[in-house]
Amino acid sequence: MATIEDLQNLIAIKSGLTFSPSQLNTIQNALKERMKIIKISSLETYYALLASNHIDGEKEWSQLYPLITTGESYFFRDKGHFQLLSKHVLPQIIENNKNQKKISLWSAGCSTGEEPYSLAILVREILGPNHDWKVKIIGTDINEEALQKARSGIYSEWSFRSIDEKYLKKFFKQKEQWHLDESIRDSLRFEKVNLIEDLYPNPSLGIYDIDLIVCRNVFIYFHGQAIQKVLDKFHQTLSPQGYLLTGHAEILSANTEAFQVELFPESHIWKRKNILHQGTNKKKKKKVPVTTSLLTMKEFKFQHTLNVNNKKEEKKPLATSKEREQGLLDKAREKANHKKHEEAIQYSQEHLQNNPFDASAYYLLGLIYLEQNQQSKAMEAFRKVLYLSPHYINAYIEIGYIYVEQGELRKARKTWEQAIEMLTKAPANIKYEGEASLEDLLQSLKTLLGDR
């Protein structure tokens, strides 16, 4: 008989999406809402519908995705990334393609379209309004409702909280809402793509030989195998000198051997390597498993192998006060996941009043401050993490990225070298949140520093 956990596993297989314990009520409510609307009373029948290859099953997925995905986006989100693109990456792509005079960009997981439109504005500004280049920009998402909004090119004030005033005046007209310039709007193509299930490169959708793939704040919702699967397909889809831009630290624990990292004062970006496929007889390295002690804003993982609901002997009653304290941190993570940063900060601080030595709470605060582009506060929080828990490896990783964005590349290298030294000399003492093995994490850090 099908259970909620079975449905969550099916969602993970189908879309790569995973959910933290604090999100379970939201997911359950979404499933119940859909079952009520289509008049299905049993989980088993609903599971069978979603698991089928019938057109009715695909239609139901289209209705379910908007309820279980986060559609948060706005123009020029993360100024460091867009400075990196405008100063370094896009000019290099233009130089690489100056003979063919064509550019292909793909915003994978584009939500309501602010990101690919931001890319289009940048390209227009660099090439000029009367350029003779062939520019292809594609936005894809799993959520058809979000794509419909993207195609309209109409946005509210909330989408412009990080845009330069000159772009707002130049490319938008204000009516009841803000309308994007038609020449920008009509130059883009939006398609529904499931990054896990769908095939790409895909010439029929124009998704091939891509110069730049932007996939930010997507991998944080994927489990480890899904991340690797998508990275492999991205590598095949990029042009020989193509770039991949992801969110900060999103793929650090994945196998990134097919890419090389390039560091800039504004941020970092991954560049495609041209690799030869090696034989299958190569001996695989032994992996050291790592268990996740808790789930953070960056690592929302559904740990189906640790399903305590089906293992009564593993349940341990907690004191009411302890349950309440842990509940505050769970609420903080849930609010952070839904971009309700101020509420997330409030719950975290309430938790810390009774648990002043909880390094994980300071780590969560640091991630929230990063989302708010408050680097000094984030740095302070991550340093408190290391004061309380000197082997908290995630904090070293984040501090290194802050140094990169500040242009302090030597400090970034030194910080990551410290992390490598700890992983090498004292792996038993490491506190690490993530699904990758310590061996893979170590290799990823070495790759980041250019050490193979």
Residue 444, pLDDT score? 75
Residue 381, pLDDT score? 93
Residue 108, pLDDT score? 97
The string of pLDDT tens digits covering residues 112-133 is 999 999 999 999 999 998 999 9
Residue 111 predicted with pLDDT over 80:
yes
Residue 275, pLDDT score? 63
Q: Are residues 251 and 339 in the same domain?
A: no
Residue 436, pLDDT score? 66
In this structure, is residue 86 part of a structural domain?
Answer: yes
Q: Provide mean pLDDT across the span 386-406.
A: 86
In this structure, is residue 297 part of a structural domain?
Answer: no
Residue 78 predicted with pLDDT over 80:
yes
In this structure, is residue 305 part of a structural domain?
Answer: no
In this structure, is residue 290 part of a structural domain?
Answer: no
Residue 431, pLDDT score? 83
Residue 435, pLDDT score? 64
Q: Which residue has the higher pLDDT, 452 or 146?
A: 146
The string of pLDDT tens digits covering residues 241-256 is 999 999 877 887 788 8
Domain boundary among 234, 253, 272: 272
Q: Are residues 114 and 221 in the same domain?
A: yes
In this structure, is residue 262 part of a structural domain?
Answer: yes
Residue 325, pLDDT score? 53
Q: Which stretch of 6-20, 74-88, 258-272 has the lowest confidence by average pLDDT?
A: 6-20
Residue 450, pLDDT score? 63
pLDDT-derived band at 62 (thresholds 50, 70, 90) equals: confident
Residue 163 predicted with pLDDT over 60:
yes
Domain boundary among 49, 68, 87: 68
In this structure, is residue 284 part of a structural domain?
Answer: no
Q: Provide mean pLDDT across the span 349-366.
A: 91
Q: Are residues 143 and 209 in the same domain?
A: yes
pLDDT-derived band at 412 (thresholds 50, 70, 90) equals: confident
The string of pLDDT tens digits covering residues 302-311 is 222 222 233 3
Q: Are residues 42 and 129 in the same domain?
A: no
Residue 238 predicted with pLDDT over 60:
yes
Residue 142 predicted with pLDDT over 90:
yes
Residue 247, pLDDT score? 84
Residue 101, pLDDT score? 96
CATH code of the domain containing 422: 1.25.40.10
Residue 394 predicted with pLDDT over 70:
yes
User: By residue range, what is the domain housing residue 240?
Assistant: 79-272
CA distances from 58 to 28, 198, 224, 405, 416 (A): 20, 13, 25, 42, 45
Q: Are residues 151 and 26 in the same domain?
A: no
Provide the number of structural domains found in the chain. 3
CATH code of the domain containing 192: 3.40.50.150
Residue 17 predicted with pLDDT over 50:
yes
Q: Which residue has the higher pLDDT, 323 or 345?
A: 345
Q: Are residues 106 and 8 in the same domain?
A: no
Mean per-residue pLDDT of the chain: 83
In this structure, is residue 407 part of a structural domain?
Answer: yes
pLDDT-derived band at 228 (thresholds 50, 70, 90) equals: very high
